[in-house]
């Protein structure tokens, strides 16, 4: 398959949240189709995802996605990048399914009626036409995840960022979503603490304390990561406080 | 986020949001024109009838929604009792309950996108003054949408309290609730930014 976009380029980027440095002098060039970012809780991986999505700007350094600055150029970012939040309740803004799906399309310039028509067509093509008028509160957690993914896909971004996309879902839902992700033509960047879900990636980056601990094919990075996690887990794993 | 939207559709859902907003404004004027407690009580009872098409569950829920206003009823009622003007107090309280009930009815039967569109068109004349009308409309509609969200957060907090305490929470949840509101606003801002160039 042709390269879906020219790639993500991060040059010497640092992010400080409050007084705490979260990412320090990070440089990465991501051009693969399937990229996994591994790390423990608090390693800075969600911050890295928000940086790539343009939700935050780096204090120093630059971020470019397909050549544009995702923080400054929001119109380009809307067309270029979609982000699936870890918690669907933080992503869903609207009371009904079709409004939620139509919102992003309307923001991309479609009229509300066109956006609603597209949202309904998308639901119908996924055999979920009956969801259109349903209150989002009536959906299960897995269904809300699915709704968020549909909302992102409708905007047809070239790159999709996934934050722990399978965490907290039951096994059949995990299998169905994983199948859906695998079939997407877009570039996918998945962040997770679970090495099993990045085993099929073209490239895996292990992030630790805001720096790159290892970077390479999953066959090389995952064993290193797993061994280190087992070593830490054997001692007192989570006594240290951030900051 | 959670909402007031009902799972059933009624005739009121098909009335335009602008018409409902105008209706509420009109009701406010009418309530201001009369100070007869009997007449006001009749209008209030009429409002309850308007809830019946929403189904027995929602109609029965109205008293509980109105119960939210008890601190205001207490302060206004108390003040007028002290002043020796109980009838004037009753008039103010009836007006307040009726307007609250009417506004809740509108929120229950109006889709968020319709409300957003109504705010946008009402504010449209201000565009000539250079005001960012779409952003203001979005902010107004979001503020309305946050009411049920925060109500839900409050009841979640109360539940978390009850899970670990035998005492009543009362005012002790106010600070956590204020923090939860800021937290909720942060998440909404980020979710908006992720899919909109307006923010």
Please give the pLDDT value at position A220. 96
Given a cut of 50, whether residue B2 has pLDDT beyond it is no
Given a cut of 80, whether residue B198 has pLDDT beyond it is no
Mean pLDDT is lowest, of A73-82, B85-94, B158-167, for B158-167
pLDDT confidence band for B6 (50 / 70 / 90): low
Whether residue A199 lies inside any domain: the answer is: yes
The count of domains in chain A is 1
Chain B contacts in chain A segment 8-47 (CB below 8 A): none
Mean pLDDT is lowest, of A209-213, A236-240, B106-110, B154-158, for A236-240
Q: Which residues of chain A have pLDDT under 50?
A: 1-2
Which chain A residues have a beta carbon less than 8 Å from that of B5? 95-96, 135
CB contact under 8 A, B195 and A151: yes
Helices (H), chain B: 17-33, 37-51, 56-67, 70-83, 86-108, 112-123, 133-164, 174-195
Name the minimum distance, in Å, from the CA of B198 to any CA of chain A.
8
Helix or strand run (H / E) with residue A30: strand A20-30
Does residue A27 contact residue A183 with C-beta atoms inside 8 Å? no
A161: closest chain B residue by CA: B194
ipTM for the predicted complex comes to 0.73
Whether residue A172 lies inside any domain: the answer is: no
Whether residue A116 lies inside any domain: the answer is: no
pLDDT confidence band for B153 (50 / 70 / 90): confident
Domain housing A207: 8-86+156-166+183-234
Q: Shortest CB distance from B7 goes to which of A74, A135, A155? A: A135
Whether residue A193 lies inside any domain: the answer is: yes
DSSP β-bridge partners for residue A204: A36, A216
At residue B117, the 3 state secondary structure works out as: helix
Section B79-99 average pLDDT: 93
Burial class, B87, CB count within 10 angstroms (exposed 0-12 / middle 13-18 / buried 19+): exposed
Burial class, B119, CB count within 10 angstroms (exposed 0-12 / middle 13-18 / buried 19+): buried
Q: Where are the domains of chain B?
A: 17-110, 123-195
CB contact under 8 A, B7 and A138: yes
Given a cut of 60, whether residue B57 has pLDDT beyond it is yes
**Rounded distance between C-alpha atoms, residue A59 and residue A25, angstroms:** 10
Please give the pLDDT value at position B1. 33
Closest CA to A77 of A88, A66, A91, A90: A66
Which chain B residues have a beta carbon less than 8 Å from that of A102? 113
Residue A35 vs residue B106, higher pLDDT: A35
Could you tell me if A124 lies within 8 Å of chain B, comparing CB atoms? no
Please give the pLDDT value at position A2. 42
- Identify the residue among A77, A80, A90 best suited for mutation to test binding to B, counting B beta carbons within 10 A and taking the highest: A90
Q: Shortest CB distance from A55 goes to which of B111, B113, B193? A: B193
Which chain B residues have a beta carbon less than 8 Å from that of A96? 5, 111-112
Whether residue A99 lies inside any domain: the answer is: no
Which chain B residues have a beta carbon less than 8 Å from that of A104? 195-196
Q: How many CB pairs under 8 A join A and B?
A: 69
Please give the pLDDT value at position B139. 86
Could you tell me if A55 lies within 8 Å of chain B, comparing CB atoms? yes
A83: closest chain B residue by CA: B194
Q: Report the CATH number at residue A36.
A: 3.40.50.300
Could you tell me if B195 lies within 8 Å of chain A, comparing CB atoms? yes
Closest CA to B96 of B150, B23, B28, B21: B28
Whether residue A96 lies inside any domain: the answer is: no
Mean pLDDT is lowest, of A112-126, A139-153, B1-15, B29-43, for B1-15
Does residue A189 contact residue A8 with C-beta atoms inside 8 Å? yes
CB contact under 8 A, A104 and B195: yes
Mean pLDDT is lowest, of A87-91, B70-74, B112-116, for B112-116
How many helices and strands (H and E) does chain A possess?
8, 9
Whether residue A112 lies inside any domain: the answer is: no
Mean pLDDT is lowest, of A176-190, B116-130, B135-149, for B135-149
Could you tell me if A155 lies within 8 Å of chain B, comparing CB atoms? yes
Q: Show the tokens assigned to A121.
A: 């067509």
Given a cut of 90, whether residue B13 has pLDDT beyond it is no
Neighbour-count burial for B154-173, b at 16+ CB within 10 Å, e otherwise: beebeeebeeeeeeebeeeb
CB contact under 8 A, A103 and B191: no
Q: Mean of the per-residue pLDDT values for chain B?
A: 85
Please give the pLDDT value at position A121. 96
């Amino acid at each position: 398959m042709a390269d879906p976009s020219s790639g993500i380029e991060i040059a010497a980027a640092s992010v400080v949240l409050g007084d705490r440095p979260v990412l320090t002098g990070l440089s990465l060039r991501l051009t693969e189709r399937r990229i996994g970012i591994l790390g423990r809780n608090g390693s800075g991986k969600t911050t890295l995802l928000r940086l790539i999505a343009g939700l935050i700007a780096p204090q120093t350094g630059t971020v470019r996605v397909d050549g544009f600055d995702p923080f400054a150029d929001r119109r380009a970012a809307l067309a270029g990048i979609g982000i699936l939040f870890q918690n669907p309740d933080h992503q869903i803004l609207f009371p009904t399914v079709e409004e939620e799906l139509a919102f992003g399309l309307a923001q991309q310039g479609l009229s509300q009626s066109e956006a609603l028509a597209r949202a309904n067509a998308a639901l119908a093509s996924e055999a979920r036409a009956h969801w259109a008028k349903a209150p989002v509160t009536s959906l299960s957690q897995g269904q809300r995840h699915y709704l968020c993914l549909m909302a992102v896909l409708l905007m047809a971004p070239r790159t999709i960022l996934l934050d722990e996309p399978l965490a907290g879902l039951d096994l059949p839902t995990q299998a169905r979503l994983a199948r859906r992700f695998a079939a997407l033509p877009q570039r996918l960047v998945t962040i997770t603490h679970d090495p099993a879900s990045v085993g099929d990636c073209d490239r895996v980056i292990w992030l630790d304390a805001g720096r790159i601990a290892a970077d390479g094919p999953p066959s090389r990075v995952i064993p290193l990561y797993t061994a280190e996690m087992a070593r830490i887990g054997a001692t007192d794993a989570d006594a240290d406080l951030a900051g | 986020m959670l909402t007031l939207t009902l799972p059933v559709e009624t005739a009121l859902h098909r009335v335009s949001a602008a018409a409902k907003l105008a209706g509420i404004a009109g009701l406010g004027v009418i309530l201001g024109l009369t100070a007869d407690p009997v007449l006001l009580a009749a209008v209030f009872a009429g409002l309850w009838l308007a809830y019946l098409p929403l189904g027995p569950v929602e109609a029965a829920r109205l008293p509980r929604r109105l119960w939210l206003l008890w601190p205001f009823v207490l302060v206004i009622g108390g003040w007028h009792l002290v002043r020796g003007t109980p009838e004037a107090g009753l008039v103010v309280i009836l007006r307040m309950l009726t307007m609250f009930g009417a506004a809740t009815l509108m929120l229950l039967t109006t889709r968020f996108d319709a409300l957003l569109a109504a705010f946008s068109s009402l504010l449209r004349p201000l565009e000539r003054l250079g005001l960012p009308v779409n952003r203001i409309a979005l902010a107004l509609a979001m503020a309305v949408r946050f009411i049920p969200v925060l109500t839900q957060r409050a009841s979640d907090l109360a539940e978390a309290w009850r899970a670990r305490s035998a005492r009543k929470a009362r005012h002790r949840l106010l600070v956590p609730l204020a923090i939860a509101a800021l937290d909720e606003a942060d998440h909404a801002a980020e979710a908006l930014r992720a899919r909109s160039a307006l923010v």
